[in-house]
Amino acid sequence: MKRVLSTVCCLALCSIPVLAQKKAAPMSDQQFVTLAAQTDMVEANLGQLAQSAAASQAVKDYGHMLETDHTASYQKLWSLAAQANVTVPGAIDSQNNRAVIGPMNKLTGKAFDRRFIQDMIAGHTKAIATFKKEADDATNPAIKSYAQDTIPVLQKHLDDAKAIERGRTPADM
């Protein structure tokens, strides 16, 4: 039985490099702009919500920063859309309203704080990966530049959310 288990484990470990080599297809410029716009609108909306629903002042301040930064990012996206010949959505889609905004609207106080910070860590981790991929793969120079310029802001948001999760207040919020 131990040999069988060892063999299965070896085969599984040997197949990891093969699986890792498969790359996801790059997004089109329109897909990325739509995703970036949805992200900006959702984050700005949740940041605004945090300012009224959170218990912690650090979470309220973080929410204010999100609202400010993601509103500016969304405006920047609008300005480059014409150059890139893409459209920017003007409202949060129903999927984000239902899956992200809706559940957060039901929370207040410490329950809001916990869920909000967890969601911000997960969301910003995913956004950074997506923006890095777009910074590498984008064909349009304006979109490539936007993705590259946005990564440090997203990284700061992630770092600050992690600091809040650890019970620290980021110094430069």
Q: Kindly state whether residue 17 falls inside one of the protein's structural domains.
A: no
pLDDT of residue 25: 78
Say yes or no to pLDDT of 11 above 50: no
Is residue 95 assigned to a domain? yes
Write the pLDDT tens digit of every residue in 51-81: 999 999 999 999 999 999 999 999 999 999 9
> CA dist 3 to 9, 53, 133, 145, Å?
10, 56, 41, 53
Q: Which of 65-69, 82-86, 119-123, 145-149 has the lowest mean pLDDT?
A: 82-86
Q: Which structural domain, as residue segments, surrounds residue 112?
A: 28-165
- Residue 83 — very low, low, confident or very high, per pLDDT cuts 50/70/90? confident
3, part of any domain: no
pLDDT of residue 171: 65
State yes or no: pLDDT of 17 exceeds 60.
Answer: no
* Number of structural domains in the chain: 1
- What integer pLDDT is reported at residue 102 of this predicted model? 97
Mean pLDDT of 20-24: 53
**Which carries the bigger pLDDT value, residue 145 or residue 14?**
145
Asked if residue 15 is part of any domain, the answer here is no
What is the DSSP secondary structure assignment for residue 99, as one 8-state letter? I
In a domain, 149, yes or no: yes
Confidence check: pLDDT of 126 > 60:
yes
Quick check: is 20 in a domain? no
53, part of any domain: yes
From residue 163, alpha-carbon distances to 1, 67, 148, 150 in Å are: 46, 18, 24, 20
What local confidence, expressed as pLDDT, does residue 26 receive?
82
* Residue found by looking up tokens 């070896």 in the block: 10
Q: What's this model's pTM, rounded to 2 decimal places?
A: 0.84
Sequence-separated contacts (24+) of 96-99 with Cβ below 8 Å: 96/38, 96/41, 96/42
| Domain of residue 98, CATH code | 1.20.1260.10
**Residue range 151-171, pLDDT digits in tens:** 999 999 999 999 999 998 776
Rounded mean pLDDT of 33-61? 98
Distance separating alpha carbons of residues 7 and 127, to the nearest angstrom: 38
Domain-located, residue 71:
yes
